[in-house]
Amino acid sequence: MKQAASSEYFANVFSCDAIQKTKPHPEVYDLPRQEIVGDAWMIAAHAWDIAGAARAGYKTAFITQPEGDYLSVYPKPEGVANGLLSAVKQIV
């Protein structure tokens, strides 16, 4: 976030290092739940990450780059977009 100069846009940053487990373990997706008011969204470019978040109760949006098509073996995301801005526009 420091390199992208985007930290001012986020209230919190959660790391799986805090629980020493990695995604798609359900406890990783539980970390932000303490801070979330309202709907929880996961926007990601990896289908396995979308699947983990969906199974944890998040609404999801899949960014098609770099993986391309979303595999039908995973839970269907609420949105599919070619980039972050497009995904955010679908959500709002």
- What are the pLDDT digits (tens) for 53-62? 999 889 999 9
In residues, how long is the chain? 92
> Does the pTM of the predicted model rise above 0.85?
no
Specify the CATH number of the domain 7-91: 3.40.50.1000
d(CA 89, CA 2): 24
d(CA 17, CA 8): 22
Q: What is the torsional sign of CA 65, 7, 50, 58?
A: negative
For the record, the structure tokens of 71 come out as 């595999």
35: left (phi over 0), alpha (psi -120 to 50) or beta: alpha
Under 8 Å between Cβ of 82 and 62: no
Residues 28-86 have pLDDT tens digits of 988 888 777 788 888 999 999 999 999 988 999 999 987 778 888 888 999 999 998 89
Domain boundaries in the chain?
7-91
